[in-house]
Amino acid sequence: MSKCLSFAVCLFFAALVVKGQEPMPIKKDSTTAKIDTLKPAYINPGKVAGRRAAIRSAIVPGMGQIGNGVTVYRIAKVAAIYTGATLLTLSYIDNNKEYHRYLEELQYRVNNGGVGRPGGDLEPYPTEGLIRAKDTYGRNRWVIIFSFGALYAVNIIEAYVDARLKYFDVGDDLSLKLSPSLNMNSGTMYGYAAAAPGVKLTLRF
């Protein structure tokens, strides 16, 4: 009996001392985790097309409009761009010619004591009038130069906007509805609510 008791006591203390095997943590595959978190990047085709059209129009004016698709409307826009550039060029040539003509006459008068060039078409005009005319033609030249820059910028912006609108999707589910309505004024005194006519705008996507 004493042997059994001592054996039971030994088993009890052995059970207290012995620790169970700890479970090994399972490591996740980092490659699989990275693949699972990757999502396909969204590419906006309108933004890409707009950037491409802007670069084309910056290199050759009108190329961005034609690159968006050949239509009568786009061909008319390209023709308007080059017509405007041609008119500005002719105007610049004319104003530059007149500016130098008046400038040469004034330089001649400065070197010859204020006397006009004999036989010249500007000889009878006073010096003050020649100065004003020279300044006017000189100012016109700068206006034309700035107009060239504005036309060039409009050409690029228009090509970009046209390309973006080409890919702008207006689905069949988009609708706009206008309907008459009555607006009740609840802020009046004595509980009297006045009705005011109105228009209700409903936009459905």
DSSP annotation string for the chain: -HHHHHHHHHHHHHHHHPPPPPPPPPPPPHHHHHHHH--PPP--HHHHHHHHHHHHHHHSTTHHHHHT---HHHHHHHHHHHHHHHHHHHHHHHHHHHHHHHHHHHHHHHHTTTPPPTT-TTTTS-HHHHHHHHHHHHHHHHHHHHHHHHHHHHHHHHHHHHHHHHT----TT-EEEEEEEEEEETT-GGG--EEEEEEEEEEE-
pLDDT digits (tens, 9 = 90+) for 92-146: 999 999 999 999 999 999 998 888 888 888 888 899 999 999 999 999 999 999 9
Distance between CA atoms of residues 92 and 145, nearest Å: 8
Q: What pLDDT, on the 0 to 100 scale, is given for residue 180?
A: 73
**Whole-angstrom distance, CA of residue 68 vs CA of residue 75:** 11
Domain-wise residue ranges, the chain:
45-185
Q: Which of 101, 66, 106, 104 is nearest to 82 (CA)?
A: 66
Q: Give strand pairing partners of 184.
A: 195
Question: Which pTM value belongs to this model?
Answer: 0.62
List all residues 6 or more positions away from 178 whose beta carbon is below 8 Å from its beta carbon. Answer: 199, 200, 201, 202
Q: How far is CA 133 from CA 103, 122, 143, 187, in A?
A: 9, 11, 15, 69
What confidence score (pLDDT) does residue 116 get? 83
68 touches 162 (CB < 8 A): yes
Sites in the chain below the pLDDT cut of 70: 1-40, 169-178, 182-196, 199, 201-205
